[in-house]
């Protein structure tokens, strides 16, 4: 039976971006307000899962042609790299650095290496969650 | 270099991550994992030498002051165990090239080993009780993968048991840490020790001590919490079994020894008495199991249980001979269990069965295997020039000094049963008339022999070179018996 999901699919096309932007917001807000890499990553996963529900696995894999295992590995590497950068300055592992930068468009912004670590967490969460869903939902 | 204690944790972790990028390429997998383990091993040897010359090394992550950040502490005890862990891993990885099969190698086998080593080394090095929980989970989750990898029916069944038991004990670990945190208000192990000394270990802390014994007893397979071990360890293939047998239970033993020498030292009459009784019972059930089976794997697996009992019995004495004997025996047991599992792996590989009754006469066809097995078996039982002797001697000496005559007699008698159980393998498998060996097209076992032989030879050196190793063990004993050394190193400011 061929079902017609036009309402679901159209809504998804709009809602996906709202969820995705919200997840980016949550991710960047993590330092000062509730949020951070973990929930941000889960929200992004949620957005992709919505795509998976509205479309099928193949379409989503075509739309997002990432290898999510590799994404997990990149995330781990990013997190480890941030923490291990301290080794080269001979300070204890995981010592973070931050400073204020004047960026165009944003003005004075405080940038912290914890953000890079969080980006690693984000990638690991998205990568592993999507890997789980894809391998359970994949062809049987 | 201030981050030195972390290198044996970070390096395997880094290489495990790198291996994730090359899932399909078995050659790169093998080469990178071998290089990774060798580099980590060099780093850990350097760490060992540095700890020997400079005393306890402590680093608190993130440049926070000591009780507030996560401390990583390398004293001689943990440095010795970290080095032994990487040594075993090196040989198991080299052995796996032939033994594990390409199917498994393609599905994250080597990354799983390296992640597990990350967890083991982290658990040995950490100075923070909750961080220890995290590292326990790191090594356990990697071990879940290793135990189920391959997807045979037996592996699936036993991995369910294994995961269930460990999930329950991990939950209990969190609960115990929560109790401890609510009483002392800190998670840093040195700080916990100070706080417990301040309040003089009231009843609730003794309860927490027993809870800790239960938690780590499940991980380390002490009586009556060892029930999951014989079945679960028999399921995975031999190299995985060698890693598990050599490393995983020893992490539980380490955790018991650490908490029982650093935290709970003010009510020894209760806590260490329980530990001693339980460890003697562990030895007894291990002996019963080791004699009961005609299966190679099961015999050696029950010998793990015996060794755990012996080590904890030494640790429970709380005197210099007992503790240093326990440390000596712990390192010896990691080496010799690794060697024995690799050896019986070759025997099973050659004969195609693990049933003792179906083999015989291997001495006529595989003489070197037989002789090395005999050396390893004597080493396990503790025949004087070999590695098991000095540890058990010191443990017995410590027990006699502490007046635990019956306990030490049981420990000494258990040596005979250990010897009997492993010699039985030798007699059944190597003596008698050769039985028809199954014809296989598999690769010859020579490439599996090399790492095994080196490991056996190393264990012989460990026994013969006792004089060189004693200073290291003495340093480790000093830290365990005088917590103030550990505390001062961590809370130096």
Spatial separation of the C-alpha atoms in residues B108 and B474, rounded to whole Å: 40
Spatial separation of the C-alpha atoms in residues A22 and A113, rounded to whole Å: 22
B69-105 b/e (C-beta count within 10 Å ≥ 16 → b): bbbbbbbbbbbbbbbbbbbbbbbbbbbbbbbbeeebb
Q: What does the angle CA B343 – CA B92 – CA B279 come to, to the nearest 5 degrees?
A: 70
Angstroms from B233 CA to nearest CA on chain A: 27
| pLDDT at position A102 over 80 | yes
Mean pLDDT confidence for B483-489: 91
* B24 CB within 8 Å of a chain A CB: no
Q: Among A17-31, A94-108, B37-51, B340-354, which stretch is predicted with the lowest mean pLDDT?
A: A94-108
Give the number of C-alpha atoms closer than 13 A to the C-alpha of residue A118, restricted to the C-beta side.
22
pLDDT for res B443: 64
The mean pLDDT of chain B is: 91
pLDDT class of B98 with cuts at 50, 70, 90:
confident
Q: Which chain B residue has the Cα nearest residue A71?
A: B21
* B492 CB within 8 Å of a chain A CB: no
Angstroms from B12 CA to nearest CA on chain A: 12
Spatial separation of the C-alpha atoms in residues B121 and B135, rounded to whole Å: 8
* B68 CB within 8 Å of a chain A CB: no
For B251-277, the pLDDT digits (tens) are: 999 999 999 999 999 988 899 999 999
pLDDT for res A130: 93
pLDDT class of A88 with cuts at 50, 70, 90:
confident
pLDDT for res B444: 73
Contact A77 B17 (CB under 8 A): yes
Contact B13 A90 (CB under 8 A): no
For B77-90, the pLDDT digits (tens) are: 999 999 999 999 99
B148-175 b/e (C-beta count within 10 Å ≥ 16 → b): bbbeeeebeebbeebbebbeebbeebee
- DSSP label at residue B71: E
Q: Which residues of B touch A82 (CB under 8 A)?
A: none
| pLDDT at position B172 over 60 | yes
pLDDT for res B441: 60
Answer for the pair B453, B373: CB distance below 8 angstroms, yes or no: no
By Cβ distance, the residue of A69, A84, A94 closest to B20 is: A69
Contact A84 B2 (CB under 8 A): no
Spatial separation of the C-alpha atoms in residues A35 and A49, rounded to whole Å: 20
Spatial separation of the C-alpha atoms in residues A125 and A123, rounded to whole Å: 5
| pLDDT at position A89 over 70 | yes
Spatial separation of the C-alpha atoms in residues B442 and B154, rounded to whole Å: 23
Contact B14 A80 (CB under 8 A): yes
Angstroms from A88 CA to nearest CA on chain B: 10
Chain pair A-B, CB pairs under 8 angstroms = 48
Spatial separation of the C-alpha atoms in residues B161 and B173, rounded to whole Å: 18
pLDDT for res B440: 66
Q: Among A32-46, A93-107, B252-266, which stretch is predicted with the lowest mean pLDDT?
A: A93-107
Neighbours of B48 (CB within 10 A): 18
How far are the Cα atoms of B235, B240, B289 from residue B293, in angstroms, in the given order? 16, 21, 7
| pLDDT at position B135 over 70 | yes
Contact A73 B10 (CB under 8 A): no
Neighbours of B336 (CB within 10 A): 32
Contact A93 B59 (CB under 8 A): yes
Spatial separation of the C-alpha atoms in residues B24 and B26, rounded to whole Å: 6
pLDDT class of B31 with cuts at 50, 70, 90:
very high
- DSSP label at residue B245: I
For B435-461, the pLDDT digits (tens) are: 877 766 666 778 888 999 999 999 999
pLDDT for res B445: 76
For B355-405, the pLDDT digits (tens) are: 888 888 888 888 889 999 999 999 999 888 888 899 999 999 999 999 989
Spatial separation of the C-alpha atoms in residues B90 and B11, rounded to whole Å: 14
Q: Which residues of A touch B60 (CB under 8 A)?
A: 92
* B23 CB within 8 Å of a chain A CB: yes
pLDDT class of B171 with cuts at 50, 70, 90:
very high
Contact B20 A73 (CB under 8 A): yes
Tokens of B111: 């990354």
For B299-326, the pLDDT digits (tens) are: 999 999 999 999 999 999 989 999 999 9
For A103-114, the pLDDT digits (tens) are: 888 888 888 888
* B20 CB within 8 Å of a chain A CB: yes
């Amino acid at each position: 039976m061929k079902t017609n999901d036009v309402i679901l699919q159209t809504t998804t096309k709009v809602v996906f971006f709202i969820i995705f932007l919200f997840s980016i917001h949550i991710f960047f807000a993590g330092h000062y307000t509730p949020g951070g890499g973990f929930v941000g990553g889960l929200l992004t996963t949620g957005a992709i899962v919505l795509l998976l529900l509205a479309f099928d696995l193949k379409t989503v894999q075509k739309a997002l042609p990432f290898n999510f295992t590799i994404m997990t590995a990149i995330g781990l590497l990013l997190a480890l790299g941030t923490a291990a950068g301290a080794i080269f300055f001979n300070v204890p592992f995981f010592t973070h650095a931050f400073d204020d930068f004047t960026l165009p468009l944003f003005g004075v912004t405080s940038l912290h290496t914890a953000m890079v670590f969080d980006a690693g967490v984000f990638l690991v969460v998205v990568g592993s969650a999507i890997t789980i869903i894809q391998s359970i939902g994949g062809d049987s | 270099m201030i981050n030195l204690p972390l290198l044996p944790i970070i390096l395997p972790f880094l290489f495990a991550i790198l291996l994730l990028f090359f899932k399909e390429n078995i050659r790169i997998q093998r080469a990178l994992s071998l290089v990774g383990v060798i580099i980590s091993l060099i780093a850990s040897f350097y760490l060992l030498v540095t700890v020997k010359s400079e005393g306890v090394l402590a680093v608190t992550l993130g440049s926070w002051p000591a009780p507030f950040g996560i401390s990583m502490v390398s004293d001689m005890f943990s440095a010795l165990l970290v080095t032994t862990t990487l040594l075993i891993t090196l040989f198991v990885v080299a052995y796996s090239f032939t033994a594990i099969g390409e199917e498994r190698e393609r599905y994250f086998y080597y990354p799983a080993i390296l992640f597990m080593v990350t967890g083991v080394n982290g658990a040995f090095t950490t100075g923070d009780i909750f961080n220890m929980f995290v590292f326990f989970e790191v090594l356990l989750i990697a071990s879940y993968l290793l135990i189920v990898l391959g997807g045979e029916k037996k592996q699936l069944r036993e991995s369910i048991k294994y995961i269930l038991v460990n999930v329950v004990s991990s939950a209990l670990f969190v609960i115990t840490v929560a109790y401890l945190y609510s009483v002392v208000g800190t998670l840093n192990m040195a700080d916990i020790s100070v706080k417990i000394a301040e309040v003089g270990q009231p009843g609730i802390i003794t309860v927490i001590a027993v809870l800790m014994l239960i938690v780590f007893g499940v991980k380390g397979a002490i009586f009556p919490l060892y029930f999951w071990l014989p079945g679960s360890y028999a399921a995975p293939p031999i190299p995985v079994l060698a890693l598990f047998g050599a490393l995983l239970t020893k992490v539980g033993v380490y955790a018991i020894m650490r908490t029982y020498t650093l935290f709970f030292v003010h009510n020894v009459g209760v806590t260490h008495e329980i530990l001693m009784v339980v460890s003697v019972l562990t030895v007894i059930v291990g002996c019963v199991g080791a004699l009961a089976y005609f299966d190679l794997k099961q015999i050696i697996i029950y010998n793990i249980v015996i060794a755990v009992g012996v080590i904890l019995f030494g640790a429970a004495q709380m005197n210099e001979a007992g503790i240093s004997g326990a440390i000596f025996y712990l390192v010896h047991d990691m080496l010799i269990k690794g060697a024995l599992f690799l050896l019986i792996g070759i025997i099973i590989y050659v004969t195609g069965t693990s049933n003792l009754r179906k083999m015989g006469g291997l001495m006529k066809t595989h003489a070197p295997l037989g002789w090395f097995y005999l050396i390893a078996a004597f080493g396990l039982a503790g025949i004087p020039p070999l590695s098991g002797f000095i540890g058990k001697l010191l443990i017995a000496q410590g027990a006699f000094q502490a007046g635990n005559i019956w306990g030490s007699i049981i420990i000494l008698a258990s040596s005979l049963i250990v010897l009997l159980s492993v010699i039985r393998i030798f007699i059944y498998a190597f003596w008698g008339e050769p039985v028809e060996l199954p014809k296989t097209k598999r690769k010859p076992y020579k490439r599996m022999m090399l790492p095994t032989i080196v490991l056996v030879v190393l264990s012989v050196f460990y026994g013969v070179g006792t004089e060189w190793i004693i200073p290291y063990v003495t340093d480790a004993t000093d830290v365990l018996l005088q917590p103030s050394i550990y505390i001062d190193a961590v809370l130096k400011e």
